Structure 1
């Protein structure tokens, strides 16, 4: 991005001025008329409307007073290009309109001894050249706007990715902390000596959340996201943090490339379980892989349709986005016989050999 466009524009103006004066000498009138037209290029981006006004008057004076075009007339197509590329549609159209009119009139003044056909051909060539330059300016601007829009979309996606990661980490950790605090409150009433134990658990979960956020920010700053670091082992650790209310079954050989997505889906499903299923509910987490798909099922026997919600959560949308990014599908909702189920299916994209399953309680 050019932060000081007037510097480059001034250089262009000086170069064209030197060439124009050298070409015009010893014609003093032509030299003097070249100066304002070339000078207008120096302000074509900083003060485009003023530049157009100066260029219009100077070019008109040249067409009226000079018997033939001077080299400084090259400033006209440069001005047309600049206005369309950097100054927007309205000023660009005004500029090209004035330039086309000048291109049609100037040959009449410069070629008085030629026949009408020659004049018409010259005027047409000038006008077509002006329109072609305008088209180039328009095309370059469109490409720059498209690149800027793409960059903004990428930035928005990065911000959305950060928001998703922070949501997953913080929501899950806070849910675990809330469960431990609620359980600890009644436990401490019966056994006050166990208060340090409960506080240690809460402090440990808080530290884990902070560490995960730091690691995630570091990865995002490096322009990457984790892929296989949170596969089956990470899911086992995640389910284990919920305690004896959760059971995990892993079957098959899990594709490491899907490990991070699987981890986040299970994490969000467990977060919803902790928040909504109720203190007596249990949850069953099943991860199964064959040669075609990886399937994740998180099913609890909690509140189901009676679960309360503040309506502000985006967890299901986040899970669905992650799964669909791999070409999979996700459904979630209450079960007819009570409880709630999250069901995700992710295609593997390559055959993998199945292995025996294991159960963690």
Structure 2
């Protein structure tokens, strides 16, 4: 069984489709053996009946009945051959013998088999042949000795028995086709469930990867810059280095707490509660900017609108886009870089623009970094827009439009 944890903390279990299909094929592989074995027993039982009740008065009678019954061994493996052989033997009996025989019952079993297991053309041909045999048998057995009423009753009786045997076989064929259709549908549903589980698993992995990248990359970038500053300040202003080290410690503890929350989503159902999820919102942008300013990055923040009214999903995406854009500025902007963040809330969206005057990122679109990719994946969830690249006159610019979710 394969398990899947969703972003809401529940677990869905899907069947191992390969194992189910293998077991189904193994069972189907035994069916021919079961069929031939049952048919051998059936033919043997039919041959034994006249001996047990004394219907076979001579060895010749027993041989004739055995010849009629013996083709039933192949009634499922080769229904057309079995039915045709019995019909030919009955035709020969009509010419050689003027009375019915016990072995004639083989025609009823052959009719059932060809209606149940034969090809479609043979199904209807078998019915026609069976009804024709009823007419021929009535004419042969009654001859000119019986009155028309007796002949009619005999013909109707034989035709009814023939049709009943054929109809039972046809109903068995229909039921088997219905069961096969249900099995195929169940197998298709199993395959669909497995595919949906794979898609959901890939989406969940991408979501977790985005969160871990945003948490780890941002925090480590801040800590590296602060550590470099502390190293420089330790030589000239030790008291400032001590304060910077405290900031590094605080940032590390905060990042470690967020990492534990993320790992809790993967390890424990109870930890998947929404209170444990790292879900900063648009209203937390000021804290983000203050944290980066403490790292030495000059940032101007301009917010239009009440970001506290932004829904949680849009707020998280807004926060992560600004965070990633500023983290890239911190990592790739070079010395003395400054950035400006403009966030405007409209009636239907949140519009973001982050500019810096640094030397720009060299890994934004070359496949080596994951930040820009993460932005595009987040925006794709909201059917929004994002653009990132060098801006005219130098520096780097990230613009995004995040649609607001309907209340």
TM class by shorter-chain length?
0.5 to 0.7
Shift of 1:49: 6.4
Give the match's secondary structure for 1:317. helix
Answer with 1 or 2: which has the greater Rg: 2
Query: In the alignment, which residue of structure 2 is the partner of 1:291?
Result: 347
Q: Unaligned 5+ residue runs, structure 2?
A: 3-22, 48-73, 87-104, 112-128, 132-162
The answer on 1:278 being equivalent to 2:334 is yes
Closer/same/farther in 2, CA of residues 66 and 140 from structure 1, 3 Å limit: farther
Shift of 1:99: 10
Give the match's secondary structure for 2:336. coil
Shift of 1:250: 1.0
Q: Unaligned 5+ residue runs, structure 1?
A: 3-43, 69-97, 352-361
Of residues 176, 185, 204, the one that matches 1:139 is 185
Of residues 283, 290, 294, the one that matches 1:233 is 283
- Residue by residue over 1:108-154, the C-alpha shift from the partner in whole angstroms, topping out at 9 and shown as x without a partner, is 88651575254655544433332322221111111112112212322
The answer on 1:55 being equivalent to 2:69 is no
Of residues 381, 395, 403, the one that matches 1:325 is 381
- Residue by residue over 1:224-254, the C-alpha shift from the partner in whole angstroms, topping out at 9 and shown as x without a partner, is 5989952343111111111151121111123
Shift of 1:201: 1.9
Stretch moving more, 184-193 or 247-256: 184-193
The answer on 1:314 being equivalent to 2:386 is no
Closer/same/farther in 2, CA of residues 66 and 148 from structure 1, 3 Å limit: farther
Closer/same/farther in 2, CA of residues 161 and 349 from structure 1, 3 Å limit: closer
Query: In the alignment, which residue of structure 2 is the partner of 1:81?
Result: none
Of residues 108, 112, 116, the one that matches 2:107 is 112
Shift of 1:222: 1.8
Q: TM-score, normalised by structure 1?
A: 0.67
Shift of 1:311: 4.1
Give the match's secondary structure for 1:267. helix
8 A Cα contact 2:364 2:372, kept in partner = no
The answer on 1:130 being equivalent to 2:176 is yes
Query: In the alignment, which residue of structure 1 is the partner of 2:44?
Result: 65
CA distance, structure 2, for counterparts of residue 228 and residue 186 of structure 1:
33
Closer/same/farther in 2, CA of residues 50 and 122 from structure 1, 3 Å limit: closer
8 A Cα contact 2:234 2:241, kept in partner = yes
Closer/same/farther in 2, CA of residues 312 and 226 from structure 1, 3 Å limit: farther
Query: In the alignment, which residue of structure 2 is the partner of 1:95?
Result: none
Closer/same/farther in 2, CA of residues 311 and 152 from structure 1, 3 Å limit: closer
Of residues 248, 253, 258, the one that matches 2:301 is 248
CA distance, structure 2, for counterparts of residue 321 and residue 345 of structure 1:
13
CA distance, structure 1, for counterparts of residue 396 and residue 166 of structure 2:
80
User: How do 1:21-40 residues align onto structure 2 when only pairs under 5 Å count?
Assistant: none
CA distance, structure 2, for counterparts of residue 304 and residue 318 of structure 1:
18
- Residue by residue over 1:22-55, the C-alpha shift from the partner in whole angstroms, topping out at 9 and shown as x without a partner, is xxxxxxxxxxxxxxxxxxxxxx769536643542
Shift of 1:104: 6.5
8 A Cα contact 2:364 2:371, kept in partner = no
Of residues 204, 220, 232, the one that matches 2:250 is 204
CA distance, structure 2, for counterparts of residue 225 and residue 316 of structure 1:
28
Report the aligned-residue RMSD. 3.6
Shift of 1:63: 4.6
8 A Cα contact 2:329 2:361, kept in partner = no
8 A Cα contact 2:333 2:360, kept in partner = yes
The answer on 1:172 being equivalent to 2:206 is no
Q: TM-score, normalised by structure 2?
A: 0.60
CA distance, structure 1, for counterparts of residue 26 and residue 363 of structure 2:
62
Closer/same/farther in 2, CA of residues 310 and 148 from structure 1, 3 Å limit: closer
Give the match's secondary structure for 1:112. helix
CA distance, structure 1, for counterparts of residue 357 and residue 257 of structure 2:
32
Closer/same/farther in 2, CA of residues 223 and 134 from structure 1, 3 Å limit: farther
